[in-house]
Structure 1
Amino acid sequence: MNRNWIYVLLAGLVEVIWVMGLKYSNNTLEWLGTIVAITASFYLIIEAAKRLPVGTVYAVFTGIGTAGTVASEMLFFGEPFKLIKVLLICVLLAGVVGLKLVTSDHAEPEVSK
């Protein structure tokens, strides 16, 4: 696996942390952790997008974040389990995996004018 795709995966996983932080932070230290997670997530995604197609990177990043956030809510924060929600997340992840499989590891060359 290309190092840049690992950046996208890590950025998506860290996104789950900062999204939870936005909802559940109650004190200065928790808010500071949320800000650090946002910074790390965006740094990783920006680095990956420099070398990979931006549209696919963003779709994979948000797909991982969405799926992870929904799963975290159900597993750790008491969100009710709904089969339809899980099935739709599986469809989302299938689309993300499909995009990754059909995308080359090289960004489109910039067009100079």
Structure 2
Amino acid sequence: MNKYWWFLLLAGAFEVVWVAGLKHSSAWWQWLITFACILFSFKVLLDAAARLPLGTVYSVFTGVGTAGTVITEIVMFGEPVDPLKLLFIATLAAGIIGLKLVTETAAPDSKEGNV
């Protein structure tokens, strides 16, 4: 797995942090951390989008964010566990893995999308 896929997973992980921050922040410093995570998440997302197909990038980013947020809510904040919820998270994970397996990375010297 190349570094752009790692960037994409990192962006998704930070998405989970800032989404949780939007719901659970109450102090100014918590809001500051949430805002910093938003900025970092989108910066890393844009770096990944420079080398990977945009549709794949967006799908994986939102899939990782969605699955991670649901799991975080269950583990850290006491959200009820529903077997169907876990099945759908597994389906998301299968889709993310499938996209990884069928997606090629752009060559380092190509600048797709530049006019």
| TM-score band, normalised by shorter chain | over 0.9
Map 1:1-113 to 2 at 5 A.
Answer: 1-106=1-106, 109-110=112-113
Structure 1, unmatched stretches of 5+, are: none
Q: How far apart are 1:95 and its partner, in Å?
A: 0.7
Query: TM-score normalized by structure 2?
Result: 0.92
Give the whole-Å Cα distance in 1 for the aligned partners of 2:32 and 2:76: 21
TM-score (norm 1): 0.94
In the alignment of these two chains, the number of paired residues is: 112
Extract structure 1 runs of 4+ deviating beyond 6 A.
Answer: none
Cα offset for 1:106? 1.5
CA distance in 1, matches of 2:11, 2:113: 24
> How large is the RMSD of aligned CA atoms in angstroms?
1.5
What CA distance in whole angstroms lies between the structure 2 residues aligned with 1:85 and 1:104?
31
Equivalent residues of 2:10, 2:44 under 8 A apart:
yes
Letter of the aligned partner of 1:20 in structure 2? A
